[in-house]
Amino acid sequence: MILSATDLFRDSWKLYKKNFWLFTGYAAWLLLPLAVFLILSNAPKHWAIAIIIILASLGELFIGIWILATVILTTIQLSENKQVDDVKTSKKALASMKNLLSTSVLQLLVILGGLILFIIPGLIFSIWYGFSQATAVLTGKRPVEALAHSKSLVKGRFFPVAWRMLSIPILLALGYSIIVGGLISTIASMLGQDPFTLVTGELPMWAEALETAGEIILIPLILIYQTLLYKHLNANPPTQTSSKKVSLENTENVT
| Nearest CA-CA partner of 27 in 216, 226, 173, 162 | 216
pLDDT value for 216:
94
117, 199 in Cβ contact below 8 A? no
pLDDT value for 246:
37
Please provide the size of the chain in residues: 255
Q: Considering Cα of 145, then 105, then 30, then 130, what sign does the dihedral take?
A: negative
- Cβ count near 187 (within 10 Å): 16
pLDDT value for 114:
83
pLDDT value for 198:
64
Model pTM score: 0.87
Distance CA 49, CA 166 (A): 40
HSE, side-chain direction, 13 A CA sphere, residue 219? 24
- Mean pLDDT, each 10-residue run in order, the chain (255 residues): 92 97 94 83 78 88 94 96 92 94 93 83 92 95 96 94 96 93 84 69 77 92 97 86 39 37
Encoded amino acid at 55, one letter: L
- Cβ count near 111 (within 10 Å): 20
Query: How far is CA 225 from its chain centroid?
Result: 9
pLDDT value for 208:
82
Distance CA 176, CA 218 (A): 7
Query: How far is CA 135 from its chain centroid?
Result: 13
pLDDT value for 186:
86
